[in-house]
Chain A
C-alpha cells in the first residue's frame, strides 16, 4: 500500500469526498482506495515525477476507463520526456488485455502521433482483429492510421483475407468500401464492375449474407441500381436458386430506381414492386412487416395513378 511506503510519506493522501449522504457509492477495495487517494494527492500538487508516472499505471490497472488518469499520464510523459518506445510497449500490453476500452486506443494514437511512427500499427491492429475481427475501436484506429500515414497499398489484400475467413464480417465489407472510396473510387467502370462481380461471387457462396447485398446496393446506388446493364436479369436468375429476403429487397430497390429514372412501363414495374413488398411483409420478411407495408404505400403514392392510389392505400 502506498500509505505504508516510506518513499511516499511526504505526500498526504486525499480521500474521495462523496459528501455526507453519498449516492451510487462504490465499495472500493482497499487497494483501489489507497492508489486513488494518492492519485488525487498528486493531481492536487500537480506533481511531475517518475513515481507519479508509476502510480498512474497502477491507477489504470484498477480502472482503465479513468480518462483523468490517462490525461495526467500523458502530461507526465511529455514533462518528463519519457521514452515513447517504452510507452508503445506499455500501451500494446494494455490494449491486448482490454481491447474494448476507448481510452487505451486514444492513448496509443497520441503516442503514435508524438513518435510520428505508424510502422507497428497495421500488424498490431491485425493481431487484435485476429482475436475479435469486429472490434470497433481497432477498426477506427486502423482507418485513422491508414488515412493519416497513407498506408493504403496493402489494405485491400488484407480485407480480402478477412472476407475469405468470414464472408459475413460486416466490418471487413465496410473497410473494403473505405479503401476503394479513398483510392480508386467507384466511378471507374472497370473498378465498379470488378466489385459487382466480386459481390455476386460472394452471394453465390453464401446467399443469406446481408452484408454483401448491402454492399452491392451501396456501391450502385449513386449511379442508380437500374442503370447497371444486365443486373436485373442476373438478380432474377439468382432468385430461382439463391433466393433470400435480401434478394427480394434488392429487387424492390432496382424497381424503385427504375421508377425514379424512367418514364415507360411505370404501371408494370410498380405492380412488380408492390407485389414484392406485399410478399416480404406477408411471408418472406415478416419481422419488417410494418416497414415493407410503408414502402409499398410510399411507392403507390409516388408512382401510382390517382385513381388506384386511394383504393390501394386504404387497404394496406
Chain B
C-alpha cells in the first residue's frame, strides 16, 4: 500500500536542507542592507565583518523559520577567519529580535560564542558550554523539534545539549562583531562534517520503537478482538470468501455478510478486473437490481470503462468475435491486485516498482504481454503490493484449491521472503516467478497467493485454461472487424447516455473528460502507445472496481470501506495533523513504515 501521507521523509528532509541553499544568497541580501560599519557582504558566499566593539555587532538570519515538521534541523558554519578577536555567535533567534546584537544576548535568541565557548540563552551572561572556536573550525547547530532542544557540534563532534524548551519558529542566525571575521554557512548544499544522518536514524528508530511499543494495557483482550474483527471485515470487504470463512472459524468470530453475497461481489469484481466490464454490469443489474439505475455516475463510469476495454479487446462484447484467446491479452503481470489502494490517489506509476521492493506494480517490461503463460490462473494473477493485514490469510488460503497449479519445470528455485506455512505455498511462489522473475525482486512473492487462489477458484466461470499464442501484436478490439463495428456502435450508445445524463442532471465536466479520453483512443493507430494510452493499463480497472464494490456494499447497508482502511486513513490523517500543529516527531512517524 502506498501512502502519500507524509511529506517529511528522509529524502524530503534533504530537500529541506537543500532549500536553504537559496537562503545563503538571502543572507547576503540582508547583509548588504545592514547597518553602517557593521557586517557587509562581499562578492562571495560568506559573511564578512568590519565592526570594532560590541556596538558594532550584527547578526544575519535566514529568511524563513525552521519548519517544525522537519523534525530535526541542522546547519553548519565554517569559520573562514576569526578576524581580530573572534567574537562570533552562532545560534537561533525568533522574529523581531534585534539584529544588531550577537545571537543569545536578547530574549528569544540563543547562541554559542567563539571567544569564550559559552552558550547564551536569552541572556547577556553566558554559561560555560563548550570549547572556544576559531579560524578553520566548523560549528554545527542542530535543532531537535521533537524534544525542543538544541545542540552544537564542533568539527563533527557533538558538544551536547545547549538549550532546552526552545520556542517554535526560530531562524538560523549568525552574528559577528570584530573586523575581519568571515564565516561561511552550509545549509546542506555541501556535505556536513557532522553525521546528521546517523543522528536522524537514531530518532527515527526511537519514534518507531515508541509507536511499536505503545502500551495497550488492560484492554489487551479487547484489543485482540478488535484486530480480529478488522482482519475479518477486510477479507469480507474484498470478497476473500474462503479465507474469511477460515479466519472466522479459527478465531471464532462472526461474519456479518452472508456467503452468497460475498461470492457475488467477488465475482463482479473479478469480472471488472479481468476487463470484462459488460458482463460485470450485467451481473450487477441482475444481482442488485436498481443499484446502477440509482447510481448513474457509476453506471457511466462503468460504461466508459467498458468502452476502453472494448478497445483493449478484453470486453466480452468484442471478445466473442475474437479468434484469439482473450486470456492472453488479459494477462497483465504487474497489474492491479485485489488489494486496494487507500486514498483515492492514482495507483502506482510504472516507475514506482523499481524503487520500492514491496510494491511490485510497474515492474512489467513492455513486452510482458507477449510472454508465454501456460497457466491461466497464474497469468492473470498479479503481483501486488500487499498489505500486512491481508498476509494473515496465507495459511488458510491454500486450503482451497491452490494445488491446481503445478510447479513449472523450468522455474528457478527462488527464495521466498514470506513465511509460507506449508510446502504448497512455496510451490505457488516458485510457480509465480515464471511471469515476473526477470525484473522483479523476490519480495514480490509476498501477497501473491490470494489472487492466484481466488482467480483459480473462479477458473470455471472465468473461462478456459487453454493458453494460446499471444505473440501477435496488439490490435484494436483484438483485430476483429465485427468487433470494431460493435465497439463503434457501443461508443454511440455511450455518447447517447452522456447526453441523456446531461439532460437529466446538467452538464458534468468529469463525464465529458472521461468520454473524451476514451474516444481519443480511436485517434491513434497504436492506442497502447499514445498520450491517452494510460487508460488501457489494466491497473486503471482498480478504481472502478472498488467504486463498484463500495456501491454494492452501501446498497446492502454495509460499510463502504473496511474498518482497516479507515484506521490506516485516520493514522495518515493524524500524522498530517501533527505536521500542522508543529509536532516535530511527525517527520519520523510514517504510516508507511508500519505497512510492510
Partners in one complex: no
Using a CB–CB cutoff of 8 Å, the interface residues on chain B facing chain A are none
Using a CB–CB cutoff of 8 Å, the interface residues on chain A facing chain B are none
